[in-house]
Structure 1
Amino acid sequence: MGNMPIHVLGDSHAVYLKAAAEGRLLGRRRASFCIVPGATAAGMRNPRSLTDALGRFRASLAWTGPRTLHVIQLGEVDCGFVIWVRARRLGESIRAQLDASLDAYAGFVREAQRMGRRRIVITAATLPTIRDDAPPGAVAHARREATASLAERTALTFDYNDRLEAMAAALGVDWADATPDLLDPVSGCVAARFRNPDPADHHLALAPAAEVWADRLRPALARHDAWLPEELARAGLRRLRALRAA
């Protein structure tokens, strides 16, 4: 009966998942995408954000269905920029801003669940790659207000993902994390082979990142693919009973 379709929502780092799907690394299945560069988890509480990520995500959910697996990729912008800057501007702790980001993220997932989109995979936030001595680039320039070092941004992302995993469990959704595959065990940061060839580009190298994300998503995909034929059979039986009763 085929594999369950997927719908990917996220910031620009969702491109790794798109590449995996388009390269058939996730099997033969329909895939759709709503990718909003600059989208943040914190922005899921703000319908008037510059990116309009919340509005665009809501609109994309309106045309998916309960038999679609929704894969969400958010958090890199939060851990690499937003949390640091908002903490400084508002005179709050990093912890308070981390909590606020996760609360907004959880609120969006609950909203999706209320819409009947209960088949969800939350993916770990992408680790930062911009080095402290990186050449000037568009992203580095835009994030210059955040003065945290690469080590500090990486440590915050680890903390964020630990909390995100617990949040996924509490919400009853799947969790996928490619972080262990991306790490250099010596430096504790992203390994060289996953770094973008352009040192000013904060995205991971596309092909290897797509491969490891495909590996990490396959268990969740297999579980939901196994459910689909059973659900379709049950739905067919319900329709048959309704016709007989008419």
Structure 2
Amino acid sequence: MRDWYFIGDSHVQAFEVAAALRLLNRKARCLLVPGATSVGLRNPESRTHAVGLFKDALLPAHPDAIPVIQLGEVDCGFVIWWRAQKHNDCVERQLEESVAACAAFVDDLREGGYPIVVLTGAVLPTIRDGASRGHVARARHEVTATLRQRTELTHRYNARLRNEAEARGLPFVDITPLITDPDTGLVAEAFRNRNPRDHHLEPVRAAEAWAQALNALDLPP
């Protein structure tokens, strides 16, 4: 059976936890690049150099692996808003550019020999309005979008990404319904990290949610 090969930003740590707890139905390899973005996949000279690191790890294609891409939280929580402000552009255009960059990267992997690539939805934002605790919250202080605005943008990003996956006949996995408070429409308190300085989801709960969604995929061995 082929392994999961998880790549993405620091939210890949949830998959690492899922693997450590043996919640996944396949063995797992993980490569996380903190701060990696979808839009950065079009730029080999990005600050994180993520696209080069990902391609070095995945290409040539591993016949015993299924890539799983987890990106977008940084885009929806910060970069899309920041780029719109910097370039005096609309948020929607920046959203399209992020999704297009991710889709082009997926096409590169498919052309490189992967018949299956799994796309995953960006996780919901957790940083509260006006929060300044934690280095990520401080680093994103230039962006004034509210938590609800960032959440709604994440929904639109994930819907666009789902469309790109479906157009290619690829699986798309999104845990948003599992981690959303139905009363507020925001991330549920149970999925917030117990450390108020940490913007990642609560690791074990997130690991369980991702494992549930991934294990439900009907994929060839």
Superposed pair shares fold, TM > 0.5: yes
The equivalent of 1:166 in structure 2 is 163
Q: Could you tell me which of 69, 73, 87 is aligned with 1:72?
A: 69
1:81-125 Cα deviation digits (max 9, x unpaired): 000010111111000000000110011000000100221110000
Q: Hey, what does 2:18 align to over in structure 1?
A: 20
Distance 2:12 2:100 in 1: 21
Structure 1 gaps of 5+ residues are: 229-246
Question: SS at the partner of 1:60?
Answer: helix
Q: Distance in 2 between matches of 1:179 and 1:30?
A: 24
In 1, are the aligned partners of 2:61 and 2:113 still within 8 Å (CA)?
A: no
Counterparts of residues 1-246 of structure 1 (less than 5 Å): 3-27=1-25, 29-62=26-59, 64-220=61-217, 223-224=218-219, 227-228=220-221
- AA at the equivalent of 2:111: R
2-side partners of 1:214 and 1:64: how far apart?
24
SS in 2 for 1:50: coil
> Per-residue deviation at 1:64?
4.8
Once superposed, what is the RMSD of the aligned Cα atoms?
A: 1.2
Runs of 4+ aligned structure 1 residues displaced above 2 Å come to 133-136
What SS class does the counterpart of residue 91 from structure 1 fall into?
Answer: coil
Counterpart residue type for residue 15 of structure 1: Q
Q: Distance in 1 between matches of 2:77 and 2:53?
A: 22
Alignment-mate amino acid for residue 12 of structure 2: A
Which of structures 1 and 2 has the bigger CA Rg? 1
Deviation at 1:31, TM superposition (A): 1.6
CA distance in 1: counterparts of 2:104 and 2:59, whole angstroms? 17
User: Residue 115 of structure 2: SS of its match in structure 1?
Assistant: coil
Alignment partner, residue 233 of structure 1: none
Distance 1:119 1:167 in 2: 14
Partner secondary structure for residue 178 of structure 2: helix
Deviation at 1:30, TM superposition (A): 2.8
- CA shift, 1:78, in A, is 0.2
Higher helix share: 1
Offset at residue 63 of structure 1 (A): 5.7
Percent identity (aligned)? 47
Contact 2:60 2:113 in 1 (8 A): no
How much has 1:210 moved relative to structure 2? 0.4
Whole-angstrom distance in 2 between the partners of 1:133 and 1:186 = 22
Normalised to the residue count of structure 1, the TM-score between the two structures is 0.87
Give the corresponding residue for 1:232.
none
Deviation track 1:187-222 (CA, whole Å, cap 9, x = no partner) reads: 1111111000111211000001100111011122xx
Q: 1:134, 1:199 within 8 Å by CA — same for their partners in 2?
A: no
Does the aligned pair in 2 maintain the 1:66–1:119 contact within 8 Å? no
SS at match of 1:199: coil
Equivalent in the alignment of 1:235:
none
TM-score by length of structure 2 reads 0.96
Q: In structure 2, what residue type is equivalent to 1:6?
A: W
Is contact 1:6-1:31 (8 Å) kept? Answer: yes
Cα distance between partner residues in 2 of 1:59 and 1:118: 18
What is the number of equivalent residue pairs in this alignment?
221
Report the alpha carbon displacement of residue 172 of structure 1 after superposing the two structures with TM.
1.9
Alpha carbons 1:10, 1:74 under 8 Å: kept: yes
Q: Structure 2: how far apart are the matches of 1:217 and 1:170?
A: 20
Question: Contact conserved, 1:70 with 1:120, CA < 8 A, in 2?
Answer: yes
